[in-house]
Amino acid sequence: MTECKSCKSEQVDFFFSSINLGCNKNLVDTQYLLWKLLSFQKYNKFYNIQYFTEALDESVEFVFLNTCWFLSTGRKETVSMIKELLEHNKKIYLVGCVPNYFKNIDNVSKEAKEFLELISHPNIFQLSWKDFDKISILQLSQGYDSRKFDWFSFPDSPRAYTNIDYKFEYIKIAEWCNNSCSFCIIPKIRGKQKSMKLEVILEEIRNLLKSGVEEIIILAQDTTRYWIDLYEKPYLFELLEEIEKIEGNFVYRLLYLYPDILTLKQLEKLKGFKKFLPYFDIPLQHISAPILKNMGRFYNTESIYKFLDFIYNNFPTRFVRTNLIVWFPWETKDDINQLIEFVEKSDIDNIAIFEYHDEKFAPSSKLDWKLSDEEVHNHFLQVKKIVDKKLDEKSQWRKWKEYIGYIMDIRGEWDNMNFVVRPILHAPEIDEYDILTLSQITGVCNENGELDIWEKIIYNI
């Protein structure tokens, strides 16, 4: 603290940064957190609050680390980040999933013991989302530590939009999940789905459009089941109909669509939505009916092919993405061959594959007939090689065609300049970007014709 000479009061200096780990649903939570921290200065002139984009900046004293525990890899990433920040003498506020995960498991496991020992460091503090309703910057600057973990609920406050300069932003329409996938612990640890009110979503979209956003990215753990917790039936398409009525030059895309309750009739309706960006993020996880059943998924092989065929036949311009899990318990050679055949024959544009690992609390961890981690990894590499070949073929197919995209970065000097461009169908931070030279750009969509970061351009690959 420094003394305020004019008023003989103490000024509170709070220099902070934030790091968001995990998915973009976490990022939305971080944006609420940032707005809350920055808004403290509005109500107290003695607060000197400064935000730094680089967490390791020498001026940064506090780092708010929003964590992810969904997979063991997420927890390992959190531990690694904590250690790095401590090496740079930062004070860390842990928020989000990891603290609650270790609160809910027995602390006799090796992983828990090591983590609990790590966070006993005097520069580490734990913070619940609901603490922000009662604490001040003064308390935070002194090292406020919460041992109560009330889960995040949608606040009434605005957010600090962090992607607005790139002309896109996320809107999380529901939190948590009602599904019972056997490999997942989200409903058990975090709870059942809670949806945001429709009128709140529509108002936020209008505000984003006024700020220059051109792309709205709608997400939830299961976007397809929006409002099922309120009305016992999904209300996603009613929401989309209302979004279509909003005036303005914008598009929207949907993440995390589950094919079990989406009907072909509803997909037909998507064809008529003028602002809908034909991006289909469908986390299938597998193609074999027995494995899908063991995973707790409510669809089978036949329904997946019908679903995808409808998309291919009715959306000539589209982008399809999925996730796959390799060597789930009770997976046979026949099951994995079905998965490989699916990858080779499908027209999917982006495929993320994961090795199966037991997660404590997940029902699948109780299943027998599993391969060792080494065997799983070897099979994973086999499938990954096929996936990489398929995606490389997709990249080759894109050559010598014209595209529209956003400039995300400009590198080098004028005589040797490269442009990092996100094709308009590709999702930010998920799908591949294109690296272009100036000669590949054939048009600029702004009126003054200038090339700059965040501008929309026409280009060839």
Confidence (pLDDT) at 155: 67
170 token code pair: 């996320």
pLDDT in tens, 72-97: 778 889 999 999 999 999 999 998 87
d(CA 289, CA 388): 24
Measured in degrees and rounded to the nearest 5, phi and psi for residue 33 equal -60, -45
Which of 203, 234, 377, 351 has its CA nearest to residue 281?
351
Q: Classify 2-141 by CATH class.
A: alpha beta
Name the DSSP letter for residue 247.
-
- Each domain of the chain, given as residue ranges in start order, spans 2-141, 164-396, 402-460
Query: Which long-range contacts does 146-155 make (Cβ < 8 Å, 24+ apart)?
Result: 149/99, 149/100, 149/103, 151/100, 151/190, 151/191, 152/29, 153/129, 153/194, 154/194, 154/196, 154/200, 155/32, 155/36
Match domain 164-396 to its CATH number in 3.80.30.20, 3.30.420.10, 3.40.50.300, 3.10.20.30.
Answer: 3.80.30.20
- Same-fold call for 2-141 versus 164-396: no
Cβ neighbour number for residue 321 with a 10 Å cutoff: 19
pLDDT in tens, 219-261: 999 999 999 998 888 999 999 999 999 999 999 999 999 888 8
Residue 120 CB-density burial (10 A; 0-12 exposed, 13-18 middle, 19+ buried) = exposed
104 token code pair: 């809910």
Q: Provide the angle, in degrees to the nearest 10, between the axes of the packed helices 110-118 and 72-87.
A: 30
Confidence (pLDDT) at 332: 93
Confidence (pLDDT) at 107: 59
17 token code pair: 């940064």
d(CA 277, CA 344): 26
Residue 19 CB-density burial (10 A; 0-12 exposed, 13-18 middle, 19+ buried) = middle
Portion of the chain with pLDDT greater than 90, in percent? 65
Element (H, E) at 325: strand 319-326
186 residue type, one letter:
I
Q: Are 362 and 325 in contact (CB under 8 A)?
A: no
What is the mean pLDDT of each successive set of 10 residues along the chain, which is 461 residues long? Answer: 49 94 89 91 85 97 90 85 98 84 65 85 88 85 76 70 94 90 82 89 96 95 92 91 97 93 89 97 96 93 93 96 95 95 94 90 89 90 95 92 95 89 96 95 88 92 90
